[in-house]
Amino acid sequence: MGAIIKISCGNCKKEWTTNWGAGYLYGSVDVAIEALGLKKEDLPTDKMKTMEEPWVFENKIGICDKCQSVQSFPYLKLINSGKEYYTKCEVCGNDLREIEIDDKIEEKCPVCGNFGLDVERTGYWD
């Protein structure tokens, strides 16, 4: 089950709502392929379906330093090969910098630069 996470800056009051973790359908190879905008040929789908190639698929949260956004992004890791697949910023196409979710995020606000973002779990999704 994933969590709905509200991230906010106490200084400029900017808020972002994101989805973090994995839901029930995230165990489907087809869901991962669609979320990442891949083709079946891009991944060893037969090996993934039989767990010959174990994998993890989840939503992570990242900061875009270019357009100053905080957002969820789909992330897939193939365990044996170590290959990782993820999307870029949905606003500007820049790379996202993954942030660790804890009670307080030790990062600068992408809008005002104030250090430390607040985290609140506002719900769960599946």
What is the model's pLDDT at position 102?
A: 85
Q: How far is CA 12 from the centre of its chain?
A: 24
Split into its structural domains, the chain has a count of 1
Domain containing 16 equals 2-125
Cβ–Cβ under 8 Å, residues 64 and 91: yes
What is the model's pLDDT at position 81?
A: 95
* Predicted TM-score of the model (pTM): 0.90
DSSP for 70-101, written as a single string? EEEEEEEEETTT--EEE---TTT-PPPEE---
What is the model's pLDDT at position 29?
A: 94
What is the model's pLDDT at position 75?
A: 97
Mean pLDDT by 10 residues, the chain (126 residues): 95 97 91 95 94 95 95 97 96 95 90 95 94
Cβ–Cβ under 8 Å, residues 94 and 88: yes
